[in-house]
Structure 1
Amino acid sequence: MIGVAIPAHDEEAALGDCLDAILAAAVHPALRGEAVRVCIVLDACGDGSADVVRRQRTAFAAAGVLLDMLEVDARQVGVARAAGARHLLDHGARWLAFTDADTRVSPQWLAEQLALGVDVVCGSVAVDDWSPHGANARRLREHFARNYHDRDGHRHIHGANLGVSADAYRAAGGFQSVSCHEDVLLVKALEAIGARFAWSAQPRVYTSARTDARARDGFGDTLLRMIAAA
């Protein structure tokens, strides 16, 4: 079984589009019918995120894809990702794919992670709507294009586009209980155990250029720093 873990903190506005994209990836023909289980981990949500998940369950069930929901009260993305991974491993996942609730994966996302034939896939991210940055949108888009390496061989690490085999994840000790950089710490641990990596731009995701960053020092904060540097 392939497992997909998605942390969410007050993501009612974005979560529906995220789940629509995940469902398309979960039923991609290249997976040849392998079971996919998706786990949304709601971390201290005070909005309608849970209602979004409940509404999506009918479509997931009709497609034969399990959609689980966990609730934690940690306000730490490391805790949320680890909880999702643990839940999926307990249900027999052989591969763990991670993304974010404000991100839309491509229909080929899971198939392309698995096709790379490695222990760890570190994917890149793209942004297709810079409008949240208003007057700074064009300057930020151009700065991002000049400085971000959206190609195979990149060395970016994003929790929004990460895949790892169950065996490698366990061997590396999993995600740490931290409020940011949990993805970087996991990748370092995976490197330390000699896991086989693909730094690939093939598994595509499109993430938000939001200005109200949920995780300090995450992608949203990085974009704000890019504006200052542009």
Structure 2
Amino acid sequence: MTPSALAVVVPAHDEERRISACLRSLRVAAAHVAPLPVVIVVAADACTDATASLAARGGARVLETRCRNVGAARAAGIRHALELSAVAGPDVWLAMTDADSTVPAAWLAHQIAWARRKYDAVLGTIRLAPDTAGPLLVARHDAEYFRTRRLGKSGRAWEHPHVHGANLGVSAAAYCRVGGFAPLPTGEDRDLAARLFATGHRIARTDQHPVRTSARLHGRAPGGLADLLAHLQPGAPDPPAAPDSARGRFLPLSRP
């Protein structure tokens, strides 16, 4: 598939402190794929702060929702993005990130490269933003996050098991075939990836373009990264499930 247009969708709930940095990084990434058209949609979900106005000022198309649910907000944002992208043709590529994250300059270019290699979806990785996390928290997080990565020069790229809504891409055709994001309060990203996997779509797992995400300890979605990071703090009780920054967000490394 050679995308005819790209749509970037960002769900946001009370993210006035971080949305501007997110959008600045997305504008740089969009410039790297010019002249392909890129529409950026922020789904401002049940916001009580200046998120929506800052997003509009930052060049995004803003859809205000009252879902109070990240899965439903992502789905609404994608519906809106596809309506805006309809004139660009059927081969639209959907890229997802989060409002507390910043993407690298080549982020969209890398996703397009995977799409041209006939992959239906791209699962990327994350790093904790250094200005939001101390070295001990980063070390504890990374010890679990990278435990499946081979040490040394194995000659093979790390096909990681993680799924993050902060770093995910999918063709609009594949997204629609599997029914899109479910209205889940958390884990909506893993649920979508699992359905893509189960229906035989080609999925690239890459660590080539990690997204920087906030290491805050009080997140917007229950059971997400913030909850895990809170459990990694010194003296915190063990998490209720096996610890990982993508806890509950794994995808099998090979088809059974």
**Fold match, TM over 0.5?**
yes
Does 1:197 pair with 2:203? Answer: yes
Q: Secondary structure at the match of 1:126?
A: strand
Letter in 2 for 1:48: A
- Cα deviation, residue 141, structure 1: 1.5
Does 1:80 pair with 2:79? Answer: no
Q: Secondary structure at the match of 2:137?
A: helix
Report the count of equivalent residues.
215
Instruction: Give the alignment of 1:206-221 within 5 angstroms.
Output: 206-221=212-227
Does 1:54 pair with 2:60? Answer: no
Alpha-carbon displacement from aligned partner over 1:101-128 (angstroms, at most 9, x marks no partner) = 0000001000011112311100000013
Instruction: Give the alignment of 1:157-196 within 5 angstroms.
Output: 157-196=163-202
Contact 1:100 1:160 in 2 (8 A): yes
- Cα deviation, residue 32, structure 1: 4.2
**Equivalent of residue 112 in structure 2, options 72, 90, 114:** 114
Structure 2 residue ranges without an equivalent (≥5): 150-156, 244-256
State which drifts further: 160-169 or 45-54.
45-54
Alpha-carbon displacement from aligned partner over 1:17-49 (angstroms, at most 9, x marks no partner) = 000000000110xx2410000000000000011
Contact 2:52 2:64 in 1 (8 A): no
State which drifts further: 201-210 or 9-18.
201-210
Letter in 1 for 2:56: R
- Separation of aligned partners in 2, 1:143 and 1:10: 28
Q: Secondary structure at the match of 1:71?
A: strand
Does 1:23 pair with 2:21? Answer: no
Match of 1:69 in 2: 62
Instruction: Give the alignment of 1:103-142 within 5 angstroms.
Output: 103-116=101-114, 117=117, 118-129=119-130, 131=132, 137-142=134-139
Does 1:36 pair with 2:33? Answer: no
- Cα deviation, residue 130, structure 1: 5.9
Over the aligned positions, Cα root-mean-square deviation in angstroms equals 1.7
- Cα deviation, residue 131, structure 1: 4.5
- Cα deviation, residue 218, structure 1: 1.1
Q: Secondary structure at the match of 1:53?
A: helix
The structure with the greater share of residues assigned to helix is 1
